[in-house]
Structure 1
């Protein structure tokens, strides 16, 4: 009887391993949104890790996590590492490509609670509606990753975080763009007022000189 149970258990294990082995060896998660702001405004939040706490969904999970910045201050070569609670774990990001107003690419390394390395890209494309921002993450699934995918939908789980992050970027970007427009309008109004005042003073000065003759 025990022999039959062991054989049955072995068959189940072999079958499960076979099923896991058939799972995709790669994955890709992607979300997009359109932001009513110039691409340069959004780019500023992406290429500078110092600004990520303003919008990153993971920073909000542990506001007291330890942060460390290395390499370049922003853009290609900038490095950001973190260590926090069980929800955020420990990891590092390195910007490998930074094309102003167009694209930011980085390598994302998870160190704890598990190890994994993924490629992340942010692509910006301006249109009449604003700037379309696409956030994409790609990686490979090892055996444990494939097993995990049997019980957890990675796209739904991480995709929700992407959606929250994009929503924060939309709020911040549109508020900053509106502020820039208002500041530009105020500068133009001040310049116009100064020009009109200067013109009026010139006319008055010319009149005074004419009257003095």
Structure 2
């Protein structure tokens, strides 16, 4: 197996398998996507997929259609039969509508025509993976234009990583688990502090104010973390 993988010593949260015989594309995507908290493993032909999946479970697969041996459509059908939980995006230099429709009929989650801009690929991957469990059981939450990783305790927005404190991350995760619901200060305090919380503790309000700034949320007219007068707070995922 000819396997190319990133050299990061601490593997990022999201694992992507790229199956394409274009070595230059391997290097381009590995360099670009690793800057955005993705770990890339790359194979040069579909025949290596089965062996790879016996040892690792990626969160996402980028699959070229035109490869030596059996083409990407064959391997797409195989993946959807034996590993249907893994989202797959097809890559192709062809602009044939028939090929694109066939790939979508076979279960592809998306289809991108070469050449493409790496940022477009990144956006498409994020849109497919938002609020989808990762291979290790984690979930990335999309809040407006931000992506929240509760395990690594950070937000990602406009190609920038914004660190959160443990309290900020815990609070935001509680809101993400209850989107659109009004959460009282007591309920929030119990979730964060358990029986040790103090009803008059104002740290919740201060944490929410910090989160609003990090979410690019206007403190006067917030779009995401809204105050519901005399009731509590509510998280809206889309502005």
TM range (shorter): under 0.3
Give me the TM-score of the superposition, normalised by structure 1. Answer: 0.23
Q: Would you tell me which structure has more strand in proportion to its own residues?
A: 1
If asked which structure has higher relative contact order (CA below 8 Å, sep 6+), I would say 1
- Indicate the structure (1 or 2) with the bigger Cα radius of gyration: 1
